[in-house]
Chains A and B, each alone.
Chain A
Amino acid sequence: MTLVLRIKRFFRLKKKLNRSFTVSFLMFLLLALFGSFMALPLVYAVNNAFKPLDELFIFPPRFFVKNPTLDNFFDLVALMGNSWVPLSRYIANTFLITVLGTAGHILLASAAAYPLAKYKFIGSKTIFSIVVLSLMFSPHVTAIPNYMVMSWLGWINTHASIIVPSVAFPLGLFLMKQFMEQLPDSLMEAAKIDGASEYRIFWSIVMPNVKPAWLTLLILQFPVLWGTDGGNFIYSENLKTLHYALGQISMGGIARAGVGAAVALFLMIVPITLFIISQSSVMQTMANSGMKD
C-alpha cells in the first residue's frame, strides 16, 4: 500500500480532477513501454561507441557493452590526422554551415516576423498566408527548380547553396511571429515616444524579449543543418560535411565500424545536448504555435 502511495506521490496523481488511479497506471505503463522503444536505439548507439572491435561483431549480438573502451575515439583522432581530406575539415564545414545557417535564420526570420506580428501594412496578410501555405511544401517539391536557381546564381559547389536557402525556412518565421504577438504593444510605444527608430526598437527591445523563441528556432534549425550531407549541390571533397564523412567511414567496412560508431555518437549528442539546455524556452514558444481560424 505504501508503494502505491509512493508511486502516486511520485507522479503527483493525488490532487488531480477526473482521474482514476487504475487508468493512470495503465497509461504510464504504456508510456514506459513506448518510451523504451524510442530510447533503445539511442542507448544502443551510445553503447556501440564504447565497444571494442571484438564486441561489435559478436554472435549473438550483445546490447550493452561489457568492456568499455575509448579506443574508438582514439582511432577517430588518429584517422583525423592521416586521411586524404582530414576529418577536421569535415567538422569545420559542418560547423560553418550550421552556425551561419542557424544564426542567419534566427536574425532574418525575427526581422521579418516583427512587422508581421505587430503592424498592419499593405501586403502583410498576403505574405503571412503564403508563409503558412509554404509550411505544407516539402523541400523535395522544390529540389529541381532550386538546382536551376543555384546554377544560375553560380552557387553550385559552394556552402552558400546550403546556407542561404536554409536561412528562410518558413517554420521559423511562423513560430517567431506567433511568439512576438504576445509582446505588449506598450513596450514598443514607449520606445517610439523616446524617439527610437523601428530598427532600434527591433534590435534593442524586441530581440532581447524573444530569447525563448530564438532558442526554439535554434533547436529546429540546428539538427537539419547539422545532419546535412551536402545534397545535390556540393561535389568537392573538401567542402563536404561530417554527415557525409560518416557515410564514407561506415562504408569502410569492419575495420572502421568502431570509428563509425564514435562519429555517430558525436553527431547525435550535439543536437540532443542543445535540446536539453533549451527545453524550457522551447516549450514556452511552442505554447504560441497554434494556427488561428
Chain B
Amino acid sequence: MEAKTIQQTEKGSIYVAKESRLAHLKKELIRGKHYYILMAPYLIIFFLFTVIPVVISFGLSFFSFNMLEIPKFVGWENYSRLFLSDDIFMIALKNTFIFAVLTGPISYIACFLFAWIINELSPKVRAFMTLVFYAPSISGNVFFIWLIIFSGDSYGYLNGFLMKVGVILEPIQWLKDEQYILAVVIIVQLWLSLGTSFLAFIAGLQNIDQTLVEAGTVDGIKNRWQELWFITLPSMRPQLLFGAVLQITMAFAVADISIALAGFPSVNYAAHTVVTHLMDYGTIRFEMGYASAIATVLFALMVGTNMIIQKILRRVGE
C-alpha cells in the first residue's frame, strides 16, 4: 500500500512538472475568462474593421484585383508602377509632403501655444477661449462656409472684401487657380486642426504640479520661457506624445477638405494627395491591388513618421 502511494505521488509530481507551463497557461486563461468576455465585443469589431483590413491591404498590394476576376499575383509590380511610372502619384506624394510638413508642425505648435496662453486665463475666460478654438474641429459641415468665403466670383467674401479695399480689381478664382488651391486647403486644414490634442494639452497644463514651478523659481528660473523649457514641457511629455500621434496622422490624411474645396480631381491635380489618389483607384477605377499598394505606402509613411517623432519628443527638456 505504502509503496503504491509513493509511486502515485511520484507519477503525479512528474506529471505536474511536465504539464506545469501548459496548465499554468490554461489556469491563467480561465482566471482571465471574464476579462476576455468583457473585451470580446469590442475586439471582434476592432479586429474585423481595423486590424484585418490593414493586413488584407498589405497582402492585396501584391495582386492585381478588380473585384470581379480572381486576384492575380503580380509581385512588386504595383509598387514599381507606383514609383516609376505614375507621374500623378508623384504629384500626390509631393502635395502630401507639403501638407504634412506645413500643417503637421504648425498645427501641433499652434495647439500647444494656444493651450499654453489659454492656461494663464481665469477659469471662465479659459472655458470660453477653449470653446472658440475647439469649435471648428467639431462643427462638421464647415467647408460650406469656406466655400462661400473663397468663392471665385465677386460675391465670394474674400474677393468682395479685397475688391472693396482696392487690393485687386478682378475676382480671383481661389479654388480654380493652381497658384492658390494648395494654400487655401492648408489654411482651412489648419483652422480645423485644433482638436483632441489641443484639449489634451490644456488639460495637461492644468495638472502641472505647481510646487515644481515654485521650486524652479527658487533654483533660479526667472521668466516664462525658462519655466516653459525646464518645467512645463518635461511635465507634459505624455500629452505631447499623444498629441503628436493625432496631429501627424491627421496631417498625412488630408483629403476630405481638399475634395470639398478644390473638387475631385482638383484642377491639374493641384490639391491631389495620396488619399485622393487612393480614392481614385479604389472607388472609381476599381484597381484594388494598385489602390492597396497606395494604402500600404501611406500606412508606412504615417507609422514611420510617428516612430521618428516619438523618439525625438522623448528627449524634450532633457
Residues of A that sit less than 8 Å from B by CB = 10-13, 16-20, 23-24, 27-28, 30-31, 34-35, 37-39, 41-42, 44-45, 48, 57, 59-61, 63, 108-109, 111-112, 114-116, 119, 121-122, 124, 127, 130-131, 133-149, 164-165, 167-168, 170-171, 173, 197-199, 202, 219-220, 222-223, 226-227, 232, 243, 246, 250, 260, 264, 267-268, 271-272, 275-276, 279-280, 282-287, 289-293
Contacts and interface: CB of A to CB of B under 8 A. Distances in A.
A199 B38 CA distance: 8
B57 A61 contact: no
B42 A246 contact: no
Contact of A136 (B125, B154, B245, B278): B245
Nearest to B221: A18
Contacts of B249: 135-138
Nearest to A57: B155
A138 B249 CA distance: 6
Contacts of B21: none
Interface in B91-142: 110, 114, 117-118, 120-122, 125, 127, 129-142
Interface string B250-264: 101101000000000
A145 B279 CA distance: 13
Nearest to A153: B48
A243 B213 CA distance: 48
19 contacts: A18-B213, A28-B121, A31-B129, A34-B133, A38-B191, A39-B132, A109-B42, A115-B36, A115-B38, A135-B246, A144-B291, A145-B57, A145-B60, A168-B43, A246-B141, A267-B141, A290-B200, A291-B238, A292-B238
A142 B136 CA distance: 26
Nearest to A142: B53
Contacts of A137: 50, 54, 249, 299, 302
A127 B39 contact: yes
Contact of B139 (A108, A272, A289): A272
Nearest to B199: A286
Most buried by B among A45, A121, A271: A121
B204 A271 contact: no
Interface stretch (B4-12, B81-89, B144-152): B144-152
B140 A16 contact: no
Q: Would you call the interface of chain A mostly helix, strand, loop, or mixed?
A: helix
Interface string B51-81: 1111011001000000000000000000000
A289 B239 contact: yes
A261 B45 CA distance: 37
Contact of B54 (A24, A141, A227, A250): A141
Given A63-B157, A290-B237, 19 more contacts: A11-B120, A17-B214, A18-B224, A41-B136, A44-B157, A59-B155, A112-B42, A119-B35, A127-B39, A135-B249, A144-B53, A144-B288, A145-B54, A168-B45, A171-B246, A197-B34, A227-B140, A283-B206, A290-B241
B29 interface: yes
A121 B49 contact: no
A30 B127 CA distance: 18
A252 B133 CA distance: 32
A115 B238 contact: no
Most buried by A among B54, B138, B203, B278: B138
B181 interface: no
Contacts of A260: 144
Contact of A171 (B120, B136, B196): B196
Which 9 A-B pairs give the minimum distances between C-beta atoms?
A290-B238, A227-B140, A286-B203, A115-B35, A121-B32, A145-B53, A112-B42, A142-B53, A138-B253
A285 B199 CA distance: 10
Nearest to A58: B155
A81 B260 CA distance: 29
B22 to A, nearest CB: 13
A243 B121 CA distance: 36
Contacts of B173: none
Contacts of B283: 143, 232
A122 B136 contact: no
A121 B140 contact: no
B135 A275 contact: yes
Given A136-B249, A140-B253, A289 B203 contact: yes
Given A112-B39, A289-B239, A290-B241, A23 B141 contact: no
Contacts of B140: 223, 226-227, 243, 267-268, 271
A121 B132 contact: no
B183 to A, nearest CB: 15
Contact of A138 (B134, B279, B302): B302
Contacts of B227: 17-18
Nearest to A37: B191
Nearest to A44: B145
A112 B239 contact: no
Nearest to B110: A34
Nearest to B165: A60
